Amino acid sequence: MSYTTFSVETDADGIALVTIDLPGETMNVWNEALIEEFEAFTDAFLADDAMKGAVITSGKKTGFLAGADVRMFGRRKIALDKESFDSTARLSRALRRLETGGHSAKAIAKEGAKAKPVACALEGLALGGGLELALACHYRVVADNPKIQLGVPEVQIGLLPGAGGTQRLPRLMGLQAAAMMIMQGQPVAPQQAKAQNIVHEVVAPGKTVEAAMTWVKANPQVLAPWDQKGFKFPGGAGAMNPAGLQFYMGGNAMALAQSRDNYPAIKAIMSCLYEGSN
């Protein structure tokens, strides 16, 4: 199968190198064409036994992927209408299927099902839905360049990370650190991202694909940490956990005081964090 928004090259070991490169664009963004083709690739990847794993990277020098194409919103009468919501939901489902290998929670918990390994190689910025794609991969490698930005800035335009960012970041960083990152919308550089468990490995520029390939070939069957038995949030979470209780009791008041209620997504973000950790 051929695609217009990315290329797929499969090596002799069955590892697919997926290179996102939107035609006619200086930066990769999630638009309808990329979402549709990514869904199709996910289906094909999971169904093809000859494909043993994948590495996702970018063909753009400007970065990995900068989130949603906000022009999709501007072309509509209502900025966040049902079509926009549905697009995000489709992307979220595709990312989760890639993460779980298409297996149900029951198959993972009861039958020990695992997924094909998927890693991402970041030579440039990954923001919003770009970082959410990376977070859905089992292994994340980023180039050691302090100018690279990794973050979820959606709150700054009244949105939230709707493709899994509000769920995966707390499971990697801990609830409080993730909440600060999501509600402030400020990006981090590669070394800080590694210190906060957002990425696994920081390597020399130009070596990310090689490092990602090495990991994929060494890990033929995998699961995300939160799909493994006994997983616990770093630092604790949940309304009855002391750390979670303290966060939720003061978090809403502090967030609203700092934002002066000028950022409409803050309340929705807090709701997502609460629902996802209980």
Q: Which residues are marked as active site?
A: 132, 154
The encoded tokens of residue 64 equal 């990995």
Nearest in space to 87 (alpha carbons), one of 21, 38, 136? 38
Dihedral-angle region of residue 19 (phi above 0 means left; psi in -120 to 50 means alpha; beta otherwise)? beta
Q: How far apart are CA 45 and CA 227, in angstroms?
A: 20
Nearest in space to 99 (alpha carbons), one of 67, 140, 61, 62? 140
Strand 118-122 versus strand 201-203 pairing type: unpaired
The encoded tokens of residue 176 equal 């409080």
The encoded tokens of residue 13 equal 């070991």
Spatial contact of 62 and 22, defined as CB atoms under 8 Å apart? no
Cα Rg of the chain (Å, integer):
18
